[in-house]
């Protein structure tokens, strides 16, 4: 057991290990980190480094500090799409200064909130929209670290528009290429079978927003529609083990809906002709061509008609409903190189 300053120092040792390891990758001039394994690999991707560091040998308390900062930085990346390294470096610095100053937690939280608001206001005043292919290529170059790959990203966004969908997937060889595809696409990961691409062709699409569906309800629905089935639900509950156990009889995948999009299920309903299953409203399956893989979920050629919803939508929703999507297939010579370039 550890208490007080001894506990805080031990936690700080763990946060410092993580921040020091990932901090060297920060920015366009960041350096590589060598990760052990068979084979060993070098990477400049901060998120990869953070995911690799799970615990410290021989010190459970320091490992707890590392784990807390690891969770915080990955949560930032999941919500913002980037910023794993920045979150780890800033988080370690904030904790270190908090320990040094012995500031009471409520006061620290208030000071951090006020500082964050001030920084966001300053950044909003300095920000300017990306204008034209030259600036877009500059942003892509910083993100990709490669001129050639940055050029393909720029080409993809130029064609689909700034709100269009550009997804990353593994290529079939060593060359990079862009594949233009139609459909509604989102980076959802299947609750089972995520390691395999699932392309059943036309499938029944079930959109579930009801919590606590029963085995009897699911069995009755599956008996009425047959397979294959794409089940879309944020909280699928018993559906995952039920369909996973019976996927030899009924081809299926269960996936979450698009994150941070309150209109997603209704948009998918318009595309597929399905009804959203919720409390007080029973299930109504639709049909569409579907594909689920490591690159996400894609739905196209549905029985519905989304033109009216697309006409009233804006930005990314409008692009998705209109089917503006490019898939950037990244090439590599080895699996390690593929992981780094993706």
pLDDT above 70: residue 322: no
> What is the arithmetic mean of pLDDT over 257-286?
85
Render pLDDT for 166-198 as a digit per residue (tens, 0 to 9). Answer: 777 777 778 888 877 677 888 888 888 777 788
> Please, which pLDDT band fits residue 6 given cuts at 50, 70 and 90?
confident
Q: Is 342 helix (H, G, I), strand (E, B) or coil?
A: coil
- Continuous H helices in the chain: 4-23, 46-52, 60-80, 84-101, 105-126, 132-144, 147-160, 215-225, 239-245, 264-272, 307-311, 315-322, 335-341
Instruction: Report the pLDDT averaged over residues 262-286.
Output: 86
Torsion on CA atoms 212, 218, 221, 222, rounded to nearest 10: 150
Whether the CB-CB separation of 288 and 303 falls below 8 Å is answered with yes
Extract the tokens encoding 287.
């049909």
Q: How far apart are CA 312 and CA 195, in angstroms?
A: 36
Structure tokens at 338: 């593929």
Beta strands 276-277 and 325-330: pairing type?
unpaired
Average pLDDT over residues 76-100: 87
Q: Please provide residue 170's backbone torsions phi and psi, each rounded to the nearest 5 degrees.
A: -75, 135
Average pLDDT, the chain: 83
Residue with tokens 């990079």: 176
Give the pLDDT score at 163. Answer: 61
Give tens-digit pLDDT for 43-55. Answer: 888 888 888 887 7
* pLDDT tens sequence across 21-38: 899 888 777 888 888 777
What pTM, to 2 d.p., does this model score?
0.57
Confidence of residue 126 (pLDDT cuts 50, 70, 90): very high
What's the pLDDT score for residue 124?
92
Q: Which is more confident, 236 or 182?
A: 236
How far apart are alpha carbons 5 and 166 in whole angstroms? 48
Query: In terms of Cα–Cα distance, which of 228, 219, 226 is closest to 251?
Result: 228
- 3-class state of residue 231 by DSSP: strand
Residue 25: the pLDDT is: 87
Where is average pLDDT lowest: 67-76, 85-94, 161-170, 314-323? 314-323
Residue 258 is given by DSSP the state P
What percent of the chain lies above the pLDDT cut of 70? 90
In DSSP terms, 255 is beta-bridged to 232
């Amino acid at each position: 057991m550890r208490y007080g300053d001894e506990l805080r120092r031990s936690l700080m040792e763990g946060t410092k290990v993580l921040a020091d390891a990932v901090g060297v990758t920060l920015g366009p001039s960041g350096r590589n980190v060598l990760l052990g394994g068979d084979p060993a690999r070098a990477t400049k991707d901060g998120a990869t480094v953070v995911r690799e560091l799970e615990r410290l040998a021989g010190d459970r308390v320091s490992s707890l500090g590392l784990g807390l900062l690891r969770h915080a930085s990955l949560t930032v990346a999941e919500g913002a799409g980037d910023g794993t390294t920045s979150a780890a470096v800033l988080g370690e610095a904030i904790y270190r200064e908090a320990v040094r100053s012995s500031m009471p937690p409520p006061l620290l939280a208030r000071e951090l909130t006020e500082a964050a608001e001030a920084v966001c206001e300053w950044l909003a005043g300095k920000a300017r929209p990306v204008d034209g292919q030259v600036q877009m290529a500059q942003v892509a170059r910083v993100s990709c670290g490669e001129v050639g790959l940055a050029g393909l990203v720029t080409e993809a966004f130029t064609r689909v528009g700034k709100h269009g969908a550009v997804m990353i997937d593994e290529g079939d060889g060593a060359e990079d290429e862009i594949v233009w595809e139609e459909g509604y696409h989102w980076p959802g990961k299947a609750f089972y079978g995520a390691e395999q691409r699932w392309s059943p062709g036309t499938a029944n699409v079930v959109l579930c927003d009801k919590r606590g569906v029963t085995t009897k309800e699911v069995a009755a629905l599956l008996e009425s529609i047959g397979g294959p089935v794409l089940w879309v639900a944020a909280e699928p509950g018993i559906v995952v083990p039920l369909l996973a156990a019976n996927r030899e009889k009924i081809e299926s995948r269960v996936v979450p809906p698009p994150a941070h999009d309150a209109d997603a299920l209704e948009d998918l309903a318009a595309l597929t002709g399905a009804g959203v299953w919720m409390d007080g409203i029973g299930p109504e399956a639709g049909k569409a061509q579907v594909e689920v893989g490591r690159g996400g979920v894609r739905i196209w050629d549905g029985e519905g008609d989304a033109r009216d919803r697309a006409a009233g939508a804006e930005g990314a929703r409008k692009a998705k409903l209109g089917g503006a999507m490019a898939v950037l297939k990244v090439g590599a010579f080895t699996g390690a190189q593929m992981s780094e370039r993706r």
